[in-house]
Amino acid sequence: MKQSIVFLFVLISIYSFGQSSTISPKNIEKHISYLASDELKGRGTGTKDEQKAAQYIATFFNDLGLQPKGINGFEQPFKANLDTVHVLDARNVVGYLDNGAERTIVIGAHYDHLGEGYQRGSLDQDAKGKIHNGADDNASGVAGVLELARYYAKNGVKENHNFLFICFSAEELGLLGSKFYANNPTIDLTKVNCMLNFDMIGRFDPTKPITVGGWGTSPTWGQVIPPVMQREKMAFKIDSSGAGASDHTSFYTKKIPVLFFFTGVHSDYHRPSDDIALINFAGESQILNAVTGILNELDKLPGRLEYRETAMPMARNASFKVTMGLLLDYSFNGPGIKVDGVSKNRPGETAGIKGGDLILRLGNYTLNTIYDYMGALGKYEKGQTVEAEVQRGAEKLMLKVTF
């Protein structure tokens, strides 16, 4: 009798382990099948279809028993500027797993995409009217957040951290949802130990390493991550910067250590062909199981994670003698480079450049990427004056920049 009880107990443990402690490809497929379906028409910011996606996420959080941490239940509404004229009503979706702990880990992904090609960002020559399903970008990341939420809500363990799960909107318009959350948090950000961001984790290729970004934002990453990835037999490469073209940037700038998981850019990126048929569900579940390994190690560490400022991408090949004092939007895809803000009394501000401007040309150099901009700066000396061609809304301006 005793023996059979022990045997039964072992069986139940194995069964419940299998049920709740690994993230299954089937569940990932279920989420992406809905979010990236034609029914949701590409989840353009502020559209009815995006609201349906938000509803799906909120219902899932609610069914898991997470606490609503938006303003209207799970939703945190905000205004997203499409351009200088059009303002969209957008919403983040926020759920909280309260373990009664002092510190919280934030887990996020953006759920908006390019809709039917009427908003900016498509790389299709003739984008309008075409559904941009965004299966990899970023239904894959949302599926990751939902399944990590399920894992931590249902594993029967009370971790030493609370977890805040956020799905952001208006990422494609310039990280607007995550910026809004970071500036209007619904929990105390000083108690946030780190933020993990998932943007495009659906195209895992076993012959190539995945990218782990934000590596330089805490010395802890270098200690905790390699052994887990080795155990999970997952090859990875690192990107040190805390500032990149996705939502972790908004938390990094609040001095929070960040991690960013990414399976890499591909020829369907920001095109209508980013479809579900190309998603590797088993590969994504492998990544997410490695992530739970990392999170479970982090959960054991006492105290606060150490934050480190990382070099901005431009510092890596910093051979220029002049700067303009501009804060740039690293998520912007051109044409031009987008200014997020200007520092006081620096050449950019003195020339009359403002936040929101697009700089199309500097002197003789056409600017489409941050690297064009750095390359151009490298050509000038202190005291030199050059012309900058600036797009401000519908207006085109010629400004004189003196370094």
* Contact call for residue 137 and Zn ion (CB under 5 A): yes
End-to-end CA distance of the chain: 86
Query: Does 140 engage in binding with Zn ion (CB under 5 A)?
Result: no
Tokens of 232: 């999970």
Give me the residues paired with residue 76 across strands.
92
For Zn ion (CB under 5 A), the number of binding residues is: 3
Whichever of 199 and 299 has its CB closer to Zn ion, that residue is: 199
Element (H, E) at 177: helix 176-183
**Region of 15-23, 81-89, 136-144, 224-232 interacting with Zn ion (CB under 5 A):** 136-144
DSSP letter (8 states) at residue 306: P
User: For residue 138, is the peptide bond before it cis, meaning its omega torsion is within 30 degrees of 0?
Assistant: yes
Both tokens of 182, joined, read: 């970071």
Are 134 and 36 contacting, i.e. CB atoms less than 8 angstroms apart? yes
Segment near Zn ion (CB under 5 A); pick from 76-84, 129-137, 147-155, 280-288: 129-137
CA angle 356, 325, 340 (to 5 degrees): 20
Residue 173 or 182 having the CB closest to Zn ion: 173
Apex 37 CA angle, 32 and 39, nearest 5: 140
Of residues 78 and 198, the one with the C-beta less far from Zn ion: 198
Minimum CB distance to Zn ion, residue 20 (Å): 29
Contact between 250 and Zn ion (CB under 5 A)? Answer: no
Beta pairing, strands 337-342 & 385-392: unpaired
Half-sphere exposure of 310 (CA within 13 A, CB side): 26
CB 112 within 8 A of CB 80: no
**Interface with Zn ion, residue 136, by CB under 5 A:** no
Strands 192-198 and 258-262: parallel
88 vs 359, beta carbon nearer Zn ion: 88
Rounded distance between C-alpha atoms, residue 87 and residue 85, angstroms: 7
Q: Is 138 an interacting residue with respect to Zn ion (CB under 5 A)?
A: yes
What CA–CA distance (Å, rounded) separates 393 from 338?
Answer: 12
Residue number with CB closer to Zn ion (137 or 284): 137
Task: Compute the least distance from the CB of residue 113 to Zn ion, in Å.
Answer: 7
Nearer to Zn ion, 50 or 137 (CB): 137
Contacts (Cβ under 8 Å, ≥6 apart) of 1: none
Binding map of Zn ion across residues 150-189, x = CB under 5 A, - = no contact: ----------------------------------------
Residue 223: CB atoms within 10 A of its CB come to 11
Closest distance to Zn ion from the beta carbon of 72 (Å): 25
CB of 137: closest distance to Zn ion in angstroms?
A: 4
How would you classify the pairing of strands 192-198 and 236-239?
unpaired
Q: Which range, of 94-102, 134-142, 156-164, 231-239, touches Zn ion by CB under 5 A? A: 134-142
C-beta of 136: minimal distance to Zn ion in Å?
8
Residues 194-213 vs Zn ion: string with x where CB under 5 A?
Answer: -----x--------------
Q: Supply the minimum distance, in Å, between the C-beta of residue 45 and Zn ion.
A: 12
Q: Which of 53, 32, 37, 161 is nearest to 98 (CA)?
A: 161
- Tell me how far, at minimum, the Cβ of 52 lies from Zn ion, in Å: 19
Q: For Zn ion, which is the closer residue by CB, 75 or 137?
A: 137
Piece of 133-141, 313-321, 378-386, 394-402 that binds Zn ion (CB under 5 A): 133-141
Nearer to Zn ion, 54 or 324 (CB): 54
Q: In angstroms, what is the minimal distance from the CB of 62 to Zn ion?
A: 25
Binding region for Zn ion (CB under 5 A): 137-138, 199
